[in-house]
Structure 1
């Protein structure tokens, strides 16, 4: 499975399904494999940052640089596991854990007020002033029972977002 020029075996498909908690059907995994092979222009069995940035929708995403930290050098199994956060079969908790990783800039299991401000800057650009962002985020923190000095854990994220109607899904086209 490391060499993208080879085809997936039934064993490979089942192994990938198991690795991503059955977030995708076997047909979807085969489709994802074809897409992975298209992205892996070098044929190395891994997708580089530059190869990810060749996807126009990804390149224009305001969070693309944050996502690249999680993506650079993924093999096929890791690629599917990454995408599983966007599957309709993935639990809300798994989606929240994924979002937490995007916000955890230092990979230390903690998200600070400033980490969230940084993401908010990326998302809002010039549509909000720094003062508006600060006020909005302070309000959200206070409503959730946190202060600006609080470092949030993944459990805190789950507590805050766990009752939300979070929609984070993409459909995998099946050939």
Structure 2
């Protein structure tokens, strides 16, 4: 599995399935491996940030720079584990954990007002003024029982988003 040009064995497929909590079928793992090999243009066994940016849907995503920090240098097993949060079978908690990582800019286990504000800047661009972003964010936090000085933990994200219907799904084409 280290060499991207090698073929997956049944053992490799089962190992990857186990690593991603069986959220993908064996056929999906094989399909993801083919895509991984296409992205790993130099057959290094991992995908670089530049290779991820070759995916049009990824490169135009307003938070792609944040995601790049999470995916740069992933080997196949970790690539599938990352994508597992986008599986239709992934739990709401798995999806929220990924969202939390996107917002936790410094990976300290806490999301601050400024962390969220920075993501909002990426998402809204010039469509909102800084003052509007701050007002909206303050209002949303207040509605959820927090203030602009609160540091949100993963449990807080789960509490806030746990009952929402998050649609974060990517269909894996199977040949």
When normalised by structure 1's length, the TM-score is 0.99
Superposition map of 1:72-87 within 5 A: 72-87=72-87
Match of 1:128 in 2: 128
Task: Output the CA distance in 1 between the equivalents of 2:68 and 2:165.
Answer: 26
- Deviating beyond 2 angstroms after TM superposition, the runs of 4 or more aligned structure 1 residues are none
Match of 1:19 in 2: 19
Equivalent residue number for residue 96 of structure 1: 96
Q: Distance in 1 between the 2:127 and 2:170 partners?
A: 26
How far apart are 1:165 and its partner, in Å? Answer: 1.0
Per the TM alignment, residue 131 of structure 1 is displaced from its structure 2 partner at its CA by 1.3
Query: What TM-score comes out, normalization by structure 2 length?
Result: 0.99
SS at match of 1:50: helix
- 1:103, CA displacement in angstroms? 0.5
Counterpart-to-counterpart distance in 1, 2:12 and 2:53: 27
Q: What is the distance in 1 between the residues matched to 2:23 and 2:143?
A: 33
Matched, 1:69 2:69: yes
Q: RMSD in angstroms over aligned alpha carbons?
A: 0.6
2:41: which partner in 1? 41
Residue in 2 that maps onto 1:54: 54
Aligned residues: 175
Q: Deviations over 1:50-97 (max 9, x none)?
A: 110111111111100000000010000000000001000000001000
Unmatched segments (≥5 aa) in structure 1: none
Distance 1:44 1:168 in 2: 29
